[in-house]
Amino acid sequence: MAWNEEVAARDYLPAEERQQLQLKRLQHTVQRVYTSVPFYQQAMDALQIHPSHINSLADLHRLPFTTRYDLIEHYPLGLLSVPREQLSRIHASSGTRSKAKIVGYTRRDIDIWGEVCARSLACAGLQPGDILHNAYGYGLFTGGLGLHYGGEYLGMTVVPMSSGSTQRQVTFLHDMQATALCCTPSYALTIAETLSALGMSAQDLHLKCGIFGAEPWTKALCQQIEDRLGLHALDIYGLSEIIGPGVAMECIQSHQDKQADRSLHIFEDHFLPEIIDPATGEALPYGAEGELVFTTITKEGMPLLRYRTGDLCTLIAEPCTCGRTLVRMSQIKGRVDDMLIIRGINVFPAEIKRILFGFAELAPYYQILIERKHTLDSAVVQTEITPSMQTAISPQEVDSATWTDNEQIQQLQKRITQVFYAQLHLHIDIQIQPTGTLPRSEGKAIRVIDRRPT
Ligand code: DLL
């Protein structure tokens, strides 16, 4: 399969035409899973819903949900809708605390994945002939191979770097004159830092845009990446269970409109989105914040009905300035299961991040460590000072023995602890460390280390 005008036009279909296509595909998928996946037949029978009852898109809400626990319960391949021999590829999403969720793709699924990733790259304004430096990890993680096939489908030249060896990444970005960079936002920052450490700047590169996703990121981080790498930092969303990257993508036109809230186009001719109340499962209208749910309507290997992503966002029906008629989602605002309970108090890591990013003296690196001593939980946030602040405080080389006694550091720590207490009603210790102390991310950044027994 290759990029052509007909594929490009799929983003601009009149709404009615797309809805007809969606209904036909939904009916086909429901029929398929009912007859080939025992889990779905049982779940639909329990709700007394039969494939013949799906007569409109609104009937989607009558179908059963699928959760990540269903995938884990049917580990490894119990939800396949085709015999295993028909799979071309297997990927997995690593749960940090649970078994991996395994996903099987047929040849056709791989083609569709290539198509949606190519459409994502086209959303970024990229074209055949552009050079894509792909620093997402290759392997079971879907980032590497997903965007690799998308780049080739669009007719780009792909440099399959994978993650790690950051100095080498900078050399290849420079020498191959890459016009687009794909990686997590936290790794983009690590690459930017290495670029400066090598005495180079954005002017030495040819980057037009970055396709950054797989983890949540803030406006402030986006701005830093754009300034340091000289590109437009665009957001791409996806999850292995649905297909991988290429479920939704921010377009260059809306990104350049600095007034607009950031949003991503959902490739809804393949993935039907809904927003539900995470507590009750009730479907919510456009504009309401809730849990994002997807039904895959073209997948063969492992189609999923109403998969609860656990990600929180809103759906946006208003048309986009780019002319695409696809529904949009806001950037991810957090996860349903994000909340930490520390000494009986509910804390969202995003709140801690928001407070830290409000202090200009701090660099955008942090880790939240939670431990239990006897029966009491304690939380420590480790972060770093910016290089310029460090030079101002300590013009000579930093002496690690006396760093923690530095009065300015102690004052800053005190101020931040006070803000934590005022806003989160919780005592959180903070340790501000010298520049370059915390581990740098090469993929998804690990921000919370919870050492409490489960
Ligand atoms: O992260 C797929 C991907 C690869 C997306 C490369 C974008 C780019 P998983 O490893 O299965 O798949 O993790 C999926 O990551 O449910 C979200 O919680 C989070 N996530 C993915 N994209 C974004 C994003 C890949 N743009 C989980 N913003 C999802 C915020 C994201 N969170």
Alpha-carbon gap, residue 50 to 125, rounded angstroms: 43
Phi and psi, residue 241, nearest 5°: -55, -35
The pLDDT of 72-86, averaged and rounded, is: 97
pTM beyond 0.85: yes
* CB of residue 63 inside a 6 A radius of ligand 1: no
Record the tokens describing residue 237, joined without a space: 């969303």
How many CB atoms lie under 10 A from the CB of residue 378?
15
Mutate to test the pocket of ligand 1, among 332, 335, 348, 444 (most ligand atoms within 8 A of CB): 332
Mutate to test the pocket of ligand 1, among 91, 105, 142 (most ligand atoms within 8 A of CB): 142
Tally helices (H) and strands (E) across the chain: 14, 21
Identify the pLDDT of residue 230: 98
> Ligand 1: distance of its center to the CA of 235 in Å?
10
Q: Please indicate, yes or no, whether residues 246 and 177 belong to a single structural domain of this protein.
A: yes
CA 419 from chain centre, in angstroms, equals 29
Contacts with 96 (C-beta within 8 Å, 6 or more apart), sequence order? none
Q: What is the DSSP letter of 77?
A: T
* CB of residue 413 inside a 6 A radius of ligand 1: no
Asked whether the predicted pLDDT for residue 97 surpasses 60, the reply is no
The ligand 1 atom at the shortest distance from the C-alpha of residue 247 is: 5
pLDDT band at 206 (very low <50, low <70, confident <90, very high): very high
How many CB atoms lie under 10 A from the CB of residue 416?
22
Q: Please indicate, yes or no, whether residues 360 and 223 belong to a single structural domain of this protein.
A: no
Question: Between 219-229 and 185-197, two packed helices, what is the crossing angle to 10 degrees?
Answer: 40
* CB of residue 187 inside a 6 A radius of ligand 1: no
Q: Output the 3-class SS for 150-215.
A: HHHHHCCEEECCCCCCHHHHHHHHHHCCCCEEEECHHHHHHHHHHHHHCCCCHHHCCCCEEEEECC
Q: Please indicate, yes or no, whether residues 446 and 390 belong to a single structural domain of this protein.
A: yes
Alpha-carbon gap, residue 215 to 124, rounded angstroms: 18
Domain extent, residue 399, equals 339-450
**CATH code at position 220:** 3.40.50.12780
The protein residue with its alpha carbon nearest to ligand 1, atom 20, reads 214
* CB of residue 244 inside a 6 A radius of ligand 1: yes
Instruction: With CA atoms as reference, report the closest residue to 207 among 190, 191, 186.
Output: 191
Residue after which a domain boundary falls, among 279, 309, 335: 335
Residue after which a domain boundary falls, among 308, 335, 362: 335
The more confident residue out of 400 and 188 is 188
Phi and psi, residue 132, nearest 5°: -105, 115
CA 67 from chain centre, in angstroms, equals 18
Record the tokens describing residue 52, joined without a space: 């013949």
For the chain, state the CA radius of gyration: 23
The protein residue with its alpha carbon nearest to ligand 1, atom 28, reads 216
> Ligand 1: distance of its center to the CA of 443 in Å?
11
Share of the chain above pLDDT 90, in %: 90
> Ligand 1: distance of its center to the CA of 342 in Å?
26
393-446 residue pLDDT tens: 887 878 877 888 999 999 999 999 999 999 999 999 999 999 999 999 999 999
The ligand 1 atom at the shortest distance from the C-alpha of residue 211 is: 8
Q: Please indicate, yes or no, whether residues 265 and 359 belong to a single structural domain of this protein.
A: no
The residue behind tokens 């806003």 is 423
Q: Please indicate, yes or no, whether residues 274 and 413 belong to a single structural domain of this protein.
A: no
Residue after which a domain boundary falls, among 317, 335, 353: 335
Q: Please indicate, yes or no, whether residues 238 and 195 belong to a single structural domain of this protein.
A: yes
333-344 residue pLDDT tens: 999 988 899 998
The residue behind tokens 């409490």 is 452
Q: Please indicate, yes or no, whether residues 242 and 363 belong to a single structural domain of this protein.
A: no
Q: Please indicate, yes or no, whether residues 248 and 360 belong to a single structural domain of this protein.
A: no
286-318 residue pLDDT tens: 999 999 999 999 999 999 999 999 999 999 999
**CATH code at position 347:** 3.30.300.30
Q: Please indicate, yes or no, whether residues 232 and 374 belong to a single structural domain of this protein.
A: no
Residues found in the chain:
454
Record the tokens describing residue 293, joined without a space: 């749910």
The protein residue with its alpha carbon nearest to ligand 1, atom 27, reads 239
Identify the pLDDT of residue 96: 55
The protein residue with its alpha carbon nearest to ligand 1, atom 13, reads 239
The pLDDT of 155-178, averaged and rounded, is: 98
